[in-house]
Copies of this chain bind each other. A is one copy, B any other.
Amino acid sequence: MAEETTTEDAREDDRYGLGRERVLAILEAAEAQDAATVNELMEPLHPADIADLLEQVDSSERAAILKVHEIDGETLSELDESIREEVFDLLSPGVLSDAVRELESDDVVDIIEDLEDDQQKAILDALEDNDRLAVQQALSYPEYSAGRLMQREVVAGPEHWTVGEAIDWLRSREDLPDDFYHVTLVDPRYHPVGNVTLGKILGHRRDVKLKDIAEDSFRTIEATEKEADVAYAFNQYHLISAPVVDEDGKLVGVITIDDAMIVLEEEAEEDILRLAGVGDESSLSDKVVATTRRRAPWLAVNLATAIIASLVISLFEDTIAQYVALAVLMPIVASMGGNAGTQSLTVAVRAIATKDLTGSNVLRVIRREVLVGTVNGVIFAVVMGLVGWVWFGAPMLGAVIAAAMIINLVVAGLAGTVIPVVLDRLKVDPALASGTFVTTVTDVVGFFAFLGLAAVVLL
């Protein structure tokens, strides 16, 4: 009876995502290897939610679920990389090949590209000949290129077609892709010359020429273009699908907005994680060792910069020994500089990523950041000057910390903008490296300005 109630509750689930009730009920049934209940509970779930479920549980629970539940192709393609290999090893060859055969070529490419050679071979062998060829051709394009992202199934017709001819042809085809949004018009050399939305085809009479109802703005994408640029173009120009061409300008595939949306989210995610020094950590299902291995290098870099800052402090050991209040206050100047620098660099890094910070406005932005640093510097100089004065009863100590604060916040605004711009020019991802450089600068300048001024003024 209690079991029954749980299953009932599980059906009254969150509209989005996986409810805790359902997850617990599935795990309980999986542990008991009760296939009927597991499958009944999983049946209403979207493949994306099943993939999330598999990511959220631990290895032994995953194995228990997969013993009684046959995974399908779409769920496979939704699975996070970090557990894909593990899941593949759990599947029987029959289940794996059934699942893979359901997928379109771009999804197979996405699954296969990060696998070990033997797993890759197993999947390629499971495909039919023409699908295998399509996947192998896609894999011949560089990683993270439009060629890897595109579907090869295109819907295209000659530019002289009428609405009626297009509809008759579409009805006669057995193998239309699941999702398509345009009929692409091609010239006799199979070069795309225009895009007609399906809405326009449906809204016009049979004798209307397709080229008369083609979209005003039309863009093609080169197969070798970077996927980040493709995502940018979709977002900037509100594209819904765009034809992909090879180096001769021939139509070879199509990219649709749902693929671009995934790339756009991955790019933003990558920037967030890189800014935080988490490398390209992909998921919560990563193991402790893998996570430590990804994060330790960034902590090592931070340790090196922290030691540089300590070397600066050690120049002033005698000063600190005579005036211990300096040791108490010095982290404040460095911390404020680090924070202000992070503010500037985050804005700069994102503006570079979204192509809002360009050669045309870089000087204006640098000037703005320096001015903001100056204004904030003055505000917090006054505050900290008073705090330092009152706390230690020494007006000159207040003056020193105030001066150091202004210097460091101006430097923070300057470094926070110039460093990402320079890194970008040098083709280094500014999200990856800016933080370290900027905080090194603000630590060194902060300690040096505060302790140096103190050594001159107070002693």
CA distance A261 to B356 in the complex (A): 18
| Complex contact B302–A347 (CB within 8 A) | no
Contact with A376, one of B217, B284, B292, B307 (Cβ below 8 angstroms): B292
Asked if A6 CB lies within 8 Å of chain B CBs, one says: no
| Complex contact B306–A350 (CB within 8 A) | no
| Complex contact A176–B199 (CB within 8 A) | yes
Residue of chain B at shortest CB distance from A174 = B203
Contact with A284, one of B291, B305, B347 (Cβ below 8 angstroms): B347
Chain A residues 191-246 with CB under 8 Å of chain B are 197-199, 201-205, 217, 229, 232-238, 240
CA distance A314 to B275 in the complex (A): 32
| Complex contact A272–B350 (CB within 8 A) | yes
| Complex contact B205–A171 (CB within 8 A) | yes
CA distance A283 to B23 in the complex (A): 42
List residues of chain B with CB within 8 A of the CB of A265. Answer: 235, 264-265, 268
Asked if A258 CB lies within 8 Å of chain B CBs, one says: yes
Q: Which of A96-104, A119-127, A143-151, A332-340 contacts its partner?
A: A332-340
CA distance A360 to B53 in the complex (A): 9
Chain A residues 269-326 with CB under 8 Å of chain B are 269, 271-273, 275-278, 281, 283-284, 287-289, 291-292, 295-296, 298-300, 302-303, 305-307, 309-310, 313-314, 317, 320-321, 324-326
| Complex contact A346–B272 (CB within 8 A) | yes
Closest chain-B Cβ to A397's Cβ sits at a distance in Å of: 13
CA distance A217 to B49 in the complex (A): 13
Q: Is the interface of A mostly helix, strand, loop or mixed?
A: helix
Given contacts A16-B355, A180-B199, A328-B317, contact A277 B343 (CB under 8 A): yes
Most buried by B among A273, A296, A307: A307
Asked if A375 CB lies within 8 Å of chain B CBs, one says: yes
Given contacts A24-B360, A357-B284, A387-B307, contact A202 B197 (CB under 8 A): no
List residues of chain B with CB within 8 A of the CB of A229. Answer: 16
Chain A residues 248-269 with CB under 8 Å of chain B are 257-258, 260-262, 264-265, 268-269
Q: Which of A32-40, A54-62, A84-92, A110-118 contacts its partner?
A: A54-62
List residues of chain B with CB within 8 A of the CB of A368. Answer: 284, 287-288, 291
| Complex contact A310–B291 (CB within 8 A) | no
Closest chain-B Cβ to A386's Cβ sits at a distance in Å of: 12
Asked if A190 CB lies within 8 Å of chain B CBs, one says: no
User: What is the interface of chain A, defined by CB distance below 8 A to chain B?
Assistant: 16-18, 20, 23-24, 46, 48-49, 52, 55-58, 166-167, 170-171, 173, 176-181, 197-199, 201-205, 217, 229, 232-238, 240, 257-258, 260-262, 264-265, 268-269, 271-273, 275-278, 281, 283-284, 287-289, 291-292, 295-296, 298-300, 302-303, 305-307, 309-310, 313-314, 317, 320-321, 324-332, 334-336, 339-340, 342-343, 345-347, 350-351, 355-361, 364-365, 368, 371-372, 375-376, 379-380, 383-384, 387, 443
